[in-house]
């Protein structure tokens, strides 16, 4: 008889975003004339650029003709796109071969699917707080025990604790803790922190010493404005021996709905029991078996996005979002709030004032300033007491939200009401 995969029962309830939607919906119903400002969304808002639209359109037109029609393509991605991606890395001083590039429909799916390359008993480490797919995919792959009812942390997952003391960038384990697969994200979602060359070099040295693999999420690399900071882990010597990098055009060229990403699986990558090039061949086998390739229309749009004109237009999109981030950051800092991010990332990680919890400050922001954010606790136990602001939005909407924050600063920063005395 058929039975379910029990690991899905182990998943914590996906309550965060439905709960946000519920609270916002109830507020709007009870305040029908209020204008709600949404600064919690991690979704791009600007339209596709002319060069990208032209690339998409040309492929659609070609597909409407017998001469230009194409069906299934290479599961690894069309050669023109893989070569364009290699050229993109070359601009950053990183040499890759097109055979190491695997085009997909987005980094999120790759972040989960790449776990299939590693033994079932592999120990996975994630940053805390973290993008939820890292944890949830580890659970679904059967690598964890039950979650702790108090903290939500799963037995079997190594948590790399972030805090203000380490600028939300955990160092490699040094207390005898072992891990086989490590998720790192820089610029980080949700904290907006960015790793330096020295910090990534420490992780690369650790991974090589322990035959571990780093899954490096670089989806927000183009938001780094400080040229001294690395945009790829492969800028660190030796990283091709221990790291897989995944990224996408979602937040760079507005492909959140178009769907196009890629992973780099270097031929030099190795683990304790692998042969040279074996992991690259395994991922190729996996993609060829379970995936028919990204949309050929999306791939043509991606080639256009990576052209000189496309990159210039994407840079303008990113600059617009970063201008939003600066506007939000300036307002929050002027209010006396503690802020990480917003300078090399589109997210701002903000400590709740007056010792408020994540959901308490969420409610206060919504009720007093009509501003919606994302409670930090939804990204892990280390996120309690923080909220995430997002810079993705129209500039005029960001300005309106910031004006509301400033106008209601006193109410937002007020001490929490003390408990009512108990009658004697």
Average pLDDT score over residue span 372-390 = 97
The average pLDDT across 162-188 equals 94
The mean predicted confidence, pLDDT, of the chain is: 95
Question: Whole-prediction pTM value?
Answer: 0.95
pLDDT at 418: 67
pLDDT in tens, 35-90: 999 999 889 999 999 999 999 999 999 999 999 999 999 999 999 999 999 999 99
Predicted local confidence at residue 367, as pLDDT: 97
For residue range 315-367, list pLDDT tens digits in order: 999 999 999 999 999 999 999 999 999 999 999 999 999 999 999 999 999 99
Distances (CA, A) of 141 to 2, 113, 120, 137, 216: 19, 9, 7, 6, 19
Would you state the structure tokens that stand for residue 25, as one six-digit string? Answer: 């919906």
- The enclosing H or E element of 21 equals helix 16-30
Mean pLDDT of 390-409: 97
Residues 412, 369: contact at Cβ < 8 Å? yes
Q: Is the pLDDT of residue 424 over 60?
A: no
- How many other C-beta atoms are found inside a 10 Å radius of the C-beta of residue 11? 15
Residue 422 has pLDDT above 60, yes or no: no
Does residue 420 register a pLDDT over 80?
Answer: no
84-107: per-residue pLDDT in tens? 999 999 999 999 999 999 999 999
Predicted pLDDT of residue 2: 97
Domains and CATH numbers, the chain: 6-48+310-413 (3.90.1150.10), 50-301 (3.40.640.10)
pLDDT at 177: 85
Structure confidence at residue 264 (pLDDT): 98
pLDDT at 109: 96
What's residue 423's pLDDT? 52
For residue 305, give every residue at least 6 positions away whose Cβ sits within 8 Å of its Cβ, in sequence order, or none.
Answer: 49, 51, 52, 55, 249, 252, 253, 255, 311, 314
Give 10-26 pLDDT, tens digit per residue.
887 677 888 999 999 99
- Determine the 3-state secondary structure of 396 from DSSP: helix
Instruction: Report pLDDT digits (tens) over 275-297.
Output: 989 999 999 999 999 999 999 99
Section 256-273 average pLDDT: 97
Q: What is the DSSP string of 24-56?
A: HHHHHHH-TT---EE----S--SPPPHHHHHHH
Res. 187: pLDDT tops 50: yes
Give the separation between CA 250 and CA 112, rounded to whole angstroms: 17
């Amino acid at each position: 008889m058929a039975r379910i995969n029990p690991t899905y029962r182990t998943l914590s309830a996906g309550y965060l975003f439905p709960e946000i939607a519920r609270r916002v919906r109830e507020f709007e119903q009870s305040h029908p004339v209020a204008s709600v400002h949404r600064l919690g969304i991690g979704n791009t808002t600007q339209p596709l650029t002319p060069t990208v639209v032209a690339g998409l359109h040309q492929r659609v037109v070609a597909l409407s003709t017998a001469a230009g029609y194409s069906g299934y393509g290479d599961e690894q991605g069309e050669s023109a796109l893989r070569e364009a991606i290699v050229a993109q890395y070359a601009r950053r001083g990183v040499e890759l071969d097109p055979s190491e590039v695997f085009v997909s429909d987005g980094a999120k799916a790759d972040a989960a699917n790449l776990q299939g390359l590693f033994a079932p008993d592999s120990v996975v480490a994630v940053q805390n707080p973290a993008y939820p797919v890292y944890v949830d995919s580890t659970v679904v792959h059967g690598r964890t025990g039950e979650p702790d009812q108090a903290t939500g942390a799963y037995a079997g997952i190594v948590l790399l604790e972030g805090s203000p003391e380490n600028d939300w960038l955990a160092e490699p384990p040094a207390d005898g803790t072992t891990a086989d697969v490590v998720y790192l994200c820089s610029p980080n979602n949700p904290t907006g922190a960015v790793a330096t060359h020295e910090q990534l070099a420490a992780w690369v040295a650790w991974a090589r010493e322990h035959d571990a693999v780093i899954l490096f999420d670089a989806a927000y690399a183009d938001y780094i404005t400080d040229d001294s900071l690395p945009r790829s882990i492969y800028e660190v010597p030796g990283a091709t021996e221990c790291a897989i990098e995944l990224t996408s055009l979602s937040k760079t060229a507005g492909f959140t709905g178009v769907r196009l990403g890629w992973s780099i699986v270097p031929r030099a990558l190795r683990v304790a029991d692998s042969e040279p090039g074996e992991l690259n061949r395994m991922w190729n086998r996996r993609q060829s078996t379970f995936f028919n390739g990204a949309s050929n229309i999306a791939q043509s749009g991606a080639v256009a996005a990576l052209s000189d004109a496309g990159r210039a237009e994407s840079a303008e999109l990113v600059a617009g979002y970063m201008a939003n981030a600066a506007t939000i950051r300036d307002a929050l800092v002027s209010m006396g709030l503690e802020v990480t991010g917003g300078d090399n990332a589109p997210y701002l990680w903000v400590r709740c004032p007056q010792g408020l919890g994540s959901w308490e400050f969420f409610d206060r922001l919504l009720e007093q300033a009509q501003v919606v954010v994302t409670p930090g606790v939804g990204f892990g136990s280390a996120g309690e007491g923080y909220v995430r602001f997002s810079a993705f939005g129209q500039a005029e909407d960001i300005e309106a939200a910031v004006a509301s924050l400033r106008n209601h600063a006193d109410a937002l920063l007020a001490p929490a009401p003390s408990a009512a005395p108990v009658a004697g």
